[in-house]
Structure 1
Amino acid sequence: MQTAKILIVDDDVDVLSAAKLLLKRHFSQVDIEKNPQRIPFLVTNGDYDAILLDMNFTRDVISGKEGFDWLDRILDIDPLAVVVLFTAFGDVEMAVRAMKAGAMDFVLKPWENDKLLATMQAGVQKRANDKAQVGIAAPMTTNKATPPHQNSSINLVFVSSLMQQLFETAERVAVTDATILILGENGTGKSDLAQLIHQKSKRAEKPFVTVDLGAIPESLFEGELFGHVKGAYTDAKEDRAGRFEEANGGTLFLDEIGNLSLPMQAKLLTVLQSRVVTRVGSNKPKQVDVRIICATNQPLGQMVAERAFRQDLLYRINTIELRLPALRERPEDIMPLAEFFLKQYRHQYKRVVTTFSAPLVKQLQRYNWPGNVRELRSAVERAVILTQQNALQPEDFFQNAFTEASQFSETYQLEEMEKQLIVKAMKKYSGNITEIARELGLSRQALYRRMEKYGL
C-alpha cells in the first residue's frame, strides 16, 4: 500500500463509495466529500497528494464549468495541487481544456479501475516530484546569516530592516505561549509567519493546524472546529475530531478571523476562554492544550467600533500583535523575492530563463503590488512559463495590465491606481472573475472585496 492522502469530491454518494472502495486498497488515506463548498477548507488543511474532482455539481448538467471553477480555486490555494477531473460527460475538447486549466489528467465515468488507479498513482508521484523540485523546505533569507529552515514550508525572503525587526520580534514571542494576532493585507505572508512562529516554539514537534475561517459555512462551524459524534446530524456517519482536538499540544492557526459572524465569534470566544470543546451531539467536554495564532486583513479595531467584531474576542486574541508590511512598504525586498521565485519556477518548469532585464527591474520596483508577495510570485511564475528568452522582459509580466499600470503617474493615489487596474482587467476579460483574479495575482475573495470597496 502506498503512503499517500487522496481526496475525492463528487455529489454522487454511490460514486464516492465505489471510488473509495477501489483506492483505499492502494493508498493509506482516502477522504471523500460530496459538498464542493468544503473544498477550500479541505485543501487548506489536508495536504493531499492527489485530488479526484467531479466536473458537474448543481449548476448545470454537462458543461463542466463548476469543475473548472473549483479547479481554479484549488490551484489558488495550493499551486502544487495535483487534480484529476472526472465526469460522465466529456470529450477530447474538454480534456484539452482541463489540462490547459491545470488539471493533471481527465477520467471519464464509468471508469476502468486500472486506468483510474494508474492515473492517481501518477498524480501522487507528480506531487512528490514537484515538491522536490521547488524545494518545499525553502530557506528564509534575512540580512543576517540566518541558517535555512530545513523543515519548513516557509519562503519568506527579505533584506529590509522593516522585516528584520518584525522577525526579531516574532522569534522573541515564539518561545512563549502567548496568543498572537497577525495583521496584513492579502498576500503578505501571514500564514508563513504563523508557521515560522510555530517552528520556533516549544510546540514545534506537535501539530500545526490551519483553519480558513472565511471558507467555513456557519452551519458547519461547530462541527469543523469542535468535532461531532456519529449521528449528530445528517451525514455524520462516524465520530470526528474537530480542529481544536487535532491541534492538541500544538498550534491552531485561525486565518481570516475577521470574517466570522457575531454568533460564530461568541462560540469561538467561549472555547478560547475555557480551552474546553464539546463535540456536536455529545455532552462530554474535552480539555485541549493549543497555542492560538490568528490572522486577518480586516481592520478589527474599526469593526469593534462598528459592533461587527466582539471587543472581548479581540482582547483574547491579540496578546501580541504583529503587522506584516505590504510589499510597497519595503521595495528593497522586491528583487530578492523575484529572484527567489525565478529560481524556484525555473527548476519547476525546466526553463532556461536566468535573469531579469534592466528595464523590467525598474518596472518591478516602481509597481505598487496590490496583491503583495502572492501577486509577485504569480507574476514571476507566469513570466517564466511564457517567456521565449533567457532574460525576462517587461512584456512577459501582466501583459497590458501590468505595463499600463507601471506607467501611471506617481501622483496617483494608491487606491485610485488599484481601482483603475481592476477596471482594465475587467474590460480585458469581460468580467470573468477567475481570469481577472489570476491576472492581478489575487484570490477571488480578495478581488470581490476590492470590487465591493470601489463599487465595481
Structure 2
Amino acid sequence: MPLVLIIDDNPAVVMALEVLLSLHDMQTIHAASPQEGMAQLQSHAVDLVIQDMNFSADTTSGDEGVALFHQIRDAFPDMPVILLTAWTHLDVAVRLIKAGAADYLGKPWDDERLMTTVRNLIELGQAGRSLRQRLARDVQEKQALEQRYDLCDLIWQDAAMARLLQMACQVAVSDVPVLITGPNGAGKEKIAQIVQRNSSVKDGPFVVLNCGAIPAELIEAELFGAEAGSYTGAAKAREGKFEAADGGTLFLDEIGNLPLSGQMKLLRVLETGSFQRLGSNRERRVKVRILSATNADLPAMIRAGQFREDLYYRLNVIPLTVPSLNERPDDILPLAQAFLGAHKQLSQDAVQALQQYPWPGNVRELKNLMQRVQLLCPHAMISRDDLQLPVSGPRSKETEAGPDKASIEAALAQAGGVVAQAAAMLGLSRQSLYRRMERFGIDRH
C-alpha cells in the first residue's frame, strides 16, 4: 500500500487529507514542521510528499515551503512532491514546477484533481523504481559475466545479449556441437569465438571455414585435405580444416551454403571422427569441437531437399540465436561510440537518428557507417546530417535480406575491390554479393 507523507501544521488540513487518501487505499504519516518532515522522510519508505508552503502564522511569503522543497529535492531527488498553499503566488509556483515540483495546488483543493495527480505520481514512481532496480540488476549481471568469462572484448549493453552470452558461456564447457543462427552482420562469429575462448579446448586452434566462399568442387579438399596430384593444381599435399583444428575448434560459417555432397561427408566425420584426404585411402582421426553458423532457415531448406535433416540434428545440439541489432536497441549507442572512436562525439539529433534507424545490415552496417563518418567528417561533433542515414520506413524484403548499398560500397573499398574479401566481411557468398552489386548498380572497379 502506498505511503504518503503530509507536511502541514494545520491539524484540520492533515485530517482532511488523511481521510481522503485512506478512502483511496493509501497510508499516511504526517509532520507539523519542515524539520519533522525531513526526519520522517529519513525513517520511512515514503512514496509521495504533500507539503504546505507556509509554516508561520505571520507570513504568507512561502519562503519556508520553498526551502523545504529544495531540502527534499536535494536529499531525495526522485521523490514526487505536491505543494499546497492558501496563498497562491504564480511566480513561486512557476519557479518550483521548473525545479521539479509535481504540482502546485491552492487550498481548498479539488479532491478529484488531487487524487488523480497522487495516483499518477505513485504509479510513475513505482515504475521508475522498478526500472532503476532492473538497470542495477543488469549492470551487476554484466559485471559478473565479464569477470567470470572471456567475452572477447564484445561491446554490449542490452538484456537480450546478456541472456545470449549467459547461455553461450554455460554451454562452452561442454563438448557438444553448437549451431549459431541469426541475421547477417549480427555477430555470429563473435559468439563462436566466445564459446571457444571459454571451452575446455580454449588453448587449441580455432579454425574458421566460410562454407559460402569455397567453390563446391573444392569443399572436400578444404575440409579434409588433399594429396599431391589429387586434383588439378594440387602440386603438394595439404591438410584440411579438420586436421588444422585437431585438439581445438572448427567453426563452419554459412553452413547452409555447404553443398549436399559436402554435407554427406561432413556427417560421416561427425559420426565416426575419421576421414580420408582427397586422393588417399588412409583413415585419419581427429578430436574437434564443431561450431556452425547460418542466417538461412535450415528447417525450410530441409523441406526443400537442400539440407540433410540428419546433419541438422547433429549440428543443432545446442542452438544459440543472435538477435538482430534492431532487437537489442540498448547496444546501438555503445557500439556506435566504440566504432567512432574517442575523438568524435554524437550530437543529440545523431543519437536520435541512430536509435530510430532499423539497421537491416545489423552491427556490420553500423560499424561501416561509423568508419565512414570517422574518415570523412573532419569535425569532432557528429550530426544527423553527417550520418546520411536513409529515412526510416517500411522495410522491403530486399532491405531485410542483407546489407544496403552503402555497406557494400564500404566493404568493397576496404577490401580494395576484391569481391571475395568484401563478401567475407559482409557475411555473404561471392554469388550473393555479385547479385546485390548488380541490383544496386555497383561497379567494383
Could you say if the C-alpha distance between residues 444 and 285 of structure 1 is closer, same or farther in structure 2, counting changes exceeding 3 Å? closer
- Supply the distance in 1 between the matched residues of 2:235 and 2:207 (Cα, whole angstroms): 23
CA contact (8 A) 2:356 2:392 kept: no
- Supply the distance in 2 between the matched residues of 1:236 and 1:421 (Cα, whole angstroms): 36
- Supply the distance in 2 between the matched residues of 1:420 and 1:227 (Cα, whole angstroms): 32
CA contact (8 A) 1:187 1:372 kept: yes
- Supply the distance in 2 between the matched residues of 1:420 and 1:385 (Cα, whole angstroms): 24
Summarize deviations over 1:51-97 as a string: whole Å, max 9, x none.
Answer: xxxxxxxxxxxxxxxxxxxxxxxxxxxxxxxxxxxxxxxxxxxxxxx
Q: 1:223 aligns with which of 196, 200, 221?
A: 221
Matches within 5 A, 1:262-273: 262-273=260-271
- Supply the distance in 1 between the matched residues of 2:236 and 2:418 (Cα, whole angstroms): 40
Structure 2 residue 379 is the aligned partner of structure 1 residue 389: yes
Q: What is residue 276 of structure 1 aligned with on the other side? A: 274
Could you say if the C-alpha distance between residues 239 and 287 of structure 1 is closer, same or farther in structure 2, counting changes exceeding 3 Å? same
> What amino acid is aligned across from residue 392 of structure 2 in structure 1?
F
Q: TM-score, normalised by structure 1?
A: 0.58
Q: Shift of the alpha carbon at 1:219?
A: 1.4
Q: 1:408 aligns with which of 392, 396, 409?
A: 392
The DSSP-based 3-state class of the residue aligned with 1:176 is coil
Q: Shift of the alpha carbon at 1:213?
A: 0.6
- Supply the distance in 2 between the matched residues of 1:303 and 1:177 (Cα, whole angstroms): 27
Structure 2 residue 204 is the aligned partner of structure 1 residue 214: no
CA contact (8 A) 1:232 1:281 kept: yes
Q: What is residue 364 of structure 2 aligned with on the other side? A: 374
Q: What is residue 361 of structure 1 aligned with on the other side? A: 351
Could you say if the C-alpha distance between residues 452 and 271 of structure 1 is closer, same or farther in structure 2, counting changes exceeding 3 Å? farther
Q: Shift of the alpha carbon at 1:408?
A: 3.4
Summarize deviations over 1:245-284 as a string: whole Å, max 9, x none.
Answer: 0100100000001011212211211112111011111111
The DSSP-based 3-state class of the residue aligned with 1:143 is helix
CA contact (8 A) 1:214 1:257 kept: yes
Identity of aligned residues (%): 42
Q: What is residue 113 of structure 2 aligned with on the other side? A: none
Could you say if the C-alpha distance between residues 148 and 384 of structure 1 is closer, same or farther in structure 2, counting changes exceeding 3 Å? farther
- Supply the distance in 2 between the matched residues of 1:368 and 1:323 (Cα, whole angstroms): 19
Question: Which is greater in Rg?
Answer: 2
Q: What is residue 184 of structure 2 aligned with on the other side? A: 186
> What amino acid is aligned across from residue 379 of structure 1 in structure 2?
L
Could you say if the C-alpha distance between residues 160 and 250 of structure 1 is closer, same or farther in structure 2, counting changes exceeding 3 Å? same
- Supply the distance in 1 between the matched residues of 2:191 and 2:357 (Cα, whole angstroms): 24
Could you say if the C-alpha distance between residues 408 and 237 of structure 1 is closer, same or farther in structure 2, counting changes exceeding 3 Å? closer
- Supply the distance in 2 between the matched residues of 1:228 and 1:169 (Cα, whole angstroms): 37
Could you say if the C-alpha distance between residues 444 and 396 of structure 1 is closer, same or farther in structure 2, counting changes exceeding 3 Å? farther
Which stretch of structure 1 is more off in the superposition, 362-371 or 417-426? Answer: 417-426
Q: Shift of the alpha carbon at 1:147?
A: 3.9
> What amino acid is aligned across from residue 202 of structure 2 in structure 1?
A
Q: Shift of the alpha carbon at 1:307?
A: 1.1
- Supply the distance in 1 between the matched residues of 2:150 and 2:156 (Cα, whole angstroms): 19
The DSSP-based 3-state class of the residue aligned with 2:353 is helix
- Supply the distance in 2 between the matched residues of 1:231 and 1:435 (Cα, whole angstroms): 29
Which stretch of structure 1 is more off in the superposition, 155-164 or 178-187? Answer: 155-164
Could you say if the C-alpha distance between residues 337 and 237 of structure 1 is closer, same or farther in structure 2, counting changes exceeding 3 Å? same
Q: Which runs of 5+ in 1 are unaligned?
A: 1-140, 347-352, 427-433
Q: What is residue 302 of structure 1 aligned with on the other side? A: 300
Summarize deviations over 1:304-361 as a string: whole Å, max 9, x none.
Answer: 1111111011011000000000000111110011111122xx5xxxxxx331011000
CA contact (8 A) 1:156 1:189 kept: no
- Supply the distance in 1 between the matched residues of 2:310 and 2:436 (Cα, whole angstroms): 28
- Supply the distance in 1 between the matched residues of 2:379 and 2:141 (Cα, whole angstroms): 30
Q: Shift of the alpha carbon at 1:220?
A: 1.0
Could you say if the C-alpha distance between residues 420 and 233 of structure 1 is closer, same or farther in structure 2, counting changes exceeding 3 Å? closer
CA contact (8 A) 1:142 1:158 kept: no
Q: TM-score, normalised by structure 2?
A: 0.59
CA contact (8 A) 1:143 1:160 kept: no
Could you say if the C-alpha distance between residues 160 and 241 of structure 1 is closer, same or farther in structure 2, counting changes exceeding 3 Å? same
Q: Shift of the alpha carbon at 1:155?
A: 4.3
CA contact (8 A) 2:357 2:392 kept: no
